[in-house]
């Protein structure tokens, strides 16, 4: 598991040791990671961890105090940044402009001819389920539908990279499915996708790699299973005749929960699970014994808490 990105010439997006202060507040403190072509990268972390600040710096709407953002090994310049599909946290559509006109304008701005622009716009409006709203002003749409249009705005000019700040928040379950599919398709075309989210179940399902941010830096980065392996080892033991505290005296073992004879145990590094099995067998029959696969939410809590107490 990498806790920081390997830096050097290479394809994709490289965020290299970004630093950013707002007055006295250190918002970013050496933020580094890579998003490779065709990779769906989930950017997670608590409120105020520095995700939006990082994305704004990638987009160039905010300048870093230190560090660099690179695309394919070269510093990301204005021309490169124009080819990023961006969905800002504060959203960014013209409220009084009609949906279709706004998207067509964006596509035209990015070099599409009139016919091609209209074709792209129609395709995304259909795909994202807002085609019947093409002649409505953005401000007349529900928040969820405004969000769909905002997504169309990030996709309509075929970006080389997608940077989406909480794209799933506020979407209904059907729209979540459509967006998940769209992001997967973009990845299949080779587009790297960086998105932030607090919906860890969704991130776990969808992402190739996940970066966990705390206090302006990347504290863990890897595939979901790499992160899970880096979390604590847990065992689930089903010993129906055992007293609730049966595992208390095993060195290096902490009881996480006991429900109906089923005990979840956390093992310190190096503890032999066979010692636990023998202790369980001394209590009577053992009906189940196995490793507990933590969810990304559990792993996230573990990593963030460990970092806080380090
Ligand atoms: N314009 C600003 N002026 C001063 N402080 C700011 C500004 N923008 C962000 N911050 C601070 O910088 C830190 C990082 O904020 P940021 O918005 O990047 O976090 P985040 O990870 O996106 O959080 P959330 O999940 O809540 O959206 C926070 O402490 C925030 O209060």
Q: Which atom of ligand 1 is nearest to the CA of 45?
A: 21
How many whole angstroms separate alpha carbon 77 and alpha carbon 84? 11
Q: Are residues 133 and 278 in the same domain?
A: no
| Residue 74 within any structural domain of the chain | yes
Determine the distance separating the centroid of ligand 1 and the alpha carbon of 133, expressed in angstroms: 33
Output the CA 27–ligand 1 centroid distance in Å: 7
Residue (of 8, 170, 180, 15) closest to 84 by Cα position: 15
Which domain does 289 fall in, by range?
A: 232-293
Answer yes or no: do 53 and 198 share one domain. Answer: yes
With respect to residue 131, please indicate whether it lies within any of the assigned structural domains.
yes
- Same domain, yes or no, for 267 and 211? no
Domain boundary among 206, 228, 250: 228
Q: Dihedral, CA atoms, 6, 11, 13, 19, nearest 10 degrees?
A: 40
Domain boundary among the residues 228, 251, 268 is at 228
The answer to whether residues 198 and 261 belong to one domain is no
Pocket of ligand 1 (CB under 6 A): 22, 25, 27, 45, 47-53
Phi–psi pair at 23, nearest 5 degrees: 60, -125
Residue 305 Cα to ligand 1 middle (Å): 20
Instruction: Decide: 222 and 210 in contact? Cβ < 8 Å.
Output: yes
Would you mind telling me the total number of residues written for the chain in this entry? Answer: 310
Q: 243 and 164 in one domain?
A: no
- Kindly give the number of the ligand 1 atom that is closest to the alpha carbon of 20: 12
Q: Are 73 and 209 contained in the same domain?
A: yes
- If you measure from the C-alpha of residue 53 to the centroid of ligand 1, how many angstroms do you get, rounded to a whole number? 6
Measure the CA–CA gap between 291 and 231, rounded to whole angstroms.
12
> 167-203, pLDDT tens digit by residue?
999 899 999 999 999 999 999 999 999 999 999 999 9
pLDDT tens for residues 263-307?
999 888 788 999 999 999 999 999 999 988 788 888 888 888 776
Q: How many structural domains are present in the chain?
A: 2
Contacts of residue 55, defined as CB under 8 A and 6 or more positions apart, other chains included, come to 43, 86, 88, 89, 163, 165, 194, 196
Position 310 in a domain: no
Whether residue 283 sits in one domain with residue 185: no
Banded model confidence at residue 231, pLDDT cuts 50, 70, 90: low
How far is the C-alpha of 101 from the C-alpha of 135, rounded, in Å? Answer: 8
Could you give the maximum distance between any two Cα atoms of the chain, in Å? 78
Q: Which atom of ligand 1 is nearest to the CA of 46?
A: 25
Q: Are residues 224 and 267 located together in one domain of the fold?
A: no
Same domain, 263 and 120: no
Distance between Cα 54 and ligand 1 center (Å)? 10
Average pLDDT of the chain, as a whole number? 90
pLDDT tens-place string over residues 59-109: 999 999 999 999 999 999 999 999 999 998 877 788 999 999 999 999 999
Name the residue at shortest CA distance from atom 25 of ligand 1: 47
Q: What is the percent of the chain with per-residue pLDDT over 90, rounded to a whole number?
A: 76
Residue 254: which CATH number? Answer: 3.30.70
């Amino acid at each position: 598991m990498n806790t920081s990105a390997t830096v050097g010439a290479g394809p994709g997006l490289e965020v290299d040791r970004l630093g950013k202060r707002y007055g006295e507040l250190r918002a970013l403190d050496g933020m580094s990671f890579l998003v490779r072509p065709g990779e769906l990268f989930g950017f997670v972390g608590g409120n105020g961890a520095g995700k939006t600040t990082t994305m704004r710096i990638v987009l160039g709407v905010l300048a870093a105090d230190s560090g660099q953002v690179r695309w394919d090994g070269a510093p990301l310049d204005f021309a490169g940044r124009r080819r990023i599909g961006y969905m800002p946290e504060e959203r960014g559509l013209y409220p009084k402009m009609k949906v279709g006109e706004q998207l067509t304008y964006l596509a035209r701005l990015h070099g599409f001819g009139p016919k091609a622009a209209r074709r792209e716009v129609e395709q995304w409006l259909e795909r994202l389920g807002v085609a019947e709203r093409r002649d409505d002003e953005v401000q007349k749409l529900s928040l969820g539908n405004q969000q769909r249009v905002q997504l169309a705005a990030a996709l309509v000019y075929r970006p080389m990279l997608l940077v989406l700040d909480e794209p799933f928040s506020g979407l209904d379950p059907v729209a979540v499915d459509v967006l998940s599919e769209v992001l997967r398709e973009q990845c299949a075309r080779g587009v790297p996708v960086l998105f932030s989210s607090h919906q860890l179940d969704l991130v776990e399902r969808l992402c190739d790699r996940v970066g966990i941010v705390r206090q302006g830096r990347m504290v863990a980065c890897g595939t979901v299973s790499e992160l899970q392996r880096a979390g604590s080892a847990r065992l689930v033991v089903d010993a129906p005749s055992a007293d609730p505290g049966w595992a208390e005296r095993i060195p290096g073992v902490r009881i996480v929960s006991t429900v109906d004879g089923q005990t979840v145990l956390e093992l310190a590094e190096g503890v032999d699970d066979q010692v636990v099995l023998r202790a369980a067998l001394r209590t009577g029959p053992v009906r189940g014994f196995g490793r507990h696969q933590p969810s990304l939410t559990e792993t996230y809590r573990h990593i963030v808490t460990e970092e806080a107490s380090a």
